[in-house]
Amino acid sequence: MGRPGLAVDLRDVMIRFGDFTAVKSMNLQVAETEFVAVVGPTGCGKSTILNTVTGLLKPAAGDVRIFGKSLTGLNGQSGYMLQQEGLLPWKTAQDNVGLGLVFQGSSIAKAREQARPWLAKVGLKGFEERYPHQLSGGQRKRVAMAQTLIMEPKIVLMDEPFSALDVHTRRLMHRILLDLWQADRRSLVFITHDLDEAITLADRVVVMSAGPASRMVADVRITLPRPRDVSALQTTDEFVALYREIWSLLGAEVEKSYVTQG
C-alpha cells in the first residue's frame, strides 16, 4: 500500500529498547530523488530511525516500506554511513573504501583501482595504505563516506557525516554529495546538527521532538532555488527566516526536555 514514488515510507513507527520508548510515532516519507535533512535535539532518536530504515533495528510497531515494499531483513537498496566508526581496523583506507565492491564480487585489485580516485576525491590521496587507527577522526569519517558512496546506492543515508570536518572541507564534501545526487537523482536522508548545512543542502528539513517518545514536530520545505551558493544565500531574508524557524522549533524542544528532566 506504499505510495508510488516513495523511496522511504515510515508509518507510525514506534521504536523501543526494553521499556524505554525512544520514538513514539514517526511518519517520514522520502520521495525518490528527494533530499531530506533530519535535525533534532541530541538523543531524540535520529540514528535510531535510520537504523530502522536500513533494517538494523526492528520497529516495535508501525510499518517500514522501501520503494513500496515492506522491509524484511536488511534494506538492500540503501547505503548507510553510520554515526559510529565502522571501518574494518584490519583493512587499509583503500581496501575499506573498496570493501563493498569486493563484497559484490570485484577482485581486490579492481576494487583498489576504483577506490583510489574516491580517496583522492575526499582529500585523502597519499593515505591509501593507512590503517584506520593511523588516521585522524575527520579522515576516518571521509573514508567511511567514500566507502558508502562508492556503491552508488539508490537511497543514501548518512548520520552526521560532516560534523568532524572543518568548514571548508565540509563544503567540498557537500559538493561531492550534491554532484552524486544530481547526476543520478537518488534519495538522500541525512542527519545533521548544523542548520546551515541542512538548509543549504536539503529539499526538506524534518525536525524531531526531544526524546524520549520523540516524534516529528515539523517538516519544513526549503524552497530556495538550486544550485545554491552558500556564501551568497546565508544573508538572504528567506534563508534567515528558515533558519530562525527551525532554530526556534529546536530551541523549544531542547528547553522542554530540560524541563521534563526537572
Ligand X SMILES: Nc1ncnc2c1ncn2[C@@H]1O[C@H](COP(=O)(O)OP(=O)(O)OP(=O)(O)O)[C@@H](O)[C@H]1O
Q: Which residues bind ligand X (CB under 6 A)?
A: 17, 20, 22, 40, 42-48, 83, 134-139, 164, 211-212
Chain positions contacting another protein, by CB under 8 A = 54, 56, 73-74, 76, 78-80, 82, 84-92, 99-100, 102-104, 131, 133, 144, 147, 151
Residue 57 grid cell: 533495528
Of the residues 165, 177, 201, 216, which one makes contact with a second copy according to CB under 8 A:
165
Of the residues 77, 86, 138, 228, which one makes contact with a second copy according to CB under 8 A:
138
Q: Does 168 contact a second copy by CB under 8 A?
A: yes
Rounded Cα–Cα distance for residues 104 and 161 (Å): 24
Distance of CA 227 to CAs 20, 201, 224, Å? 42, 10, 9
Are 157 and 50 spatial neighbours (Cβ–Cβ below 8 Å)? yes
For another protein, the closer CB: 131 or 243: 131
Rounded Cα–Cα distance for residues 73 and 138 (Å): 31
Q: Based on the number of CB atoms within 10 Å of its own CB, is 55 exposed (0-12), middle (13-18) or buried (19 or more)? A: middle
* Rounded least distance, CB 129 to a second copy, Å: 11
Are 6 and 29 spatial neighbours (Cβ–Cβ below 8 Å)? yes
Rounded Cα–Cα distance for residues 211 and 226 (Å): 34
Q: Which stretch binds a second copy (CB under 8 A): 28-36, 146-154, 169-177, 222-230?
A: 169-177
For Mg ion, the closer CB: 158 or 177: 158
Are 180 and 170 spatial neighbours (Cβ–Cβ below 8 Å)? no
Residue 55 region by backbone torsions, left for phi larger than 0, else alpha for psi between -120 and 50, else beta: left
For ligand X, the closer CB: 24 or 112: 24
Window 125-184: residues binding Mg ion (CB under 5 A): 136-137
Site size toward a second copy (CB under 8 A) is: 44
Angle between helices 137-149 and 108-121 (to 10 degrees): 120
* Rounded least distance, CB 57 to Mg ion, Å: 13
Cβ neighbors of 10 (< 8 A, separation 6 or more) are 26, 27, 28, 29, 49, 52, 53, 62, 63, 64, 65
* Residue 168, binding choice from a second copy, another protein, ligand X, none, Cβ under 5 to 8 Å by partner class: a second copy
Of the residues 14, 31, 164, 180, which one makes contact with a second copy according to CB under 8 A:
164
The contact set with Mg ion (CB under 5 A) reads 47, 83, 136-137
The contact set with a second copy (CB under 8 A) reads 17, 39-43, 45, 47-48, 83-84, 120, 123, 125-126, 134-139, 142, 160, 163-170, 172, 193, 195, 247, 250-251, 253-255, 257-258, 261-262
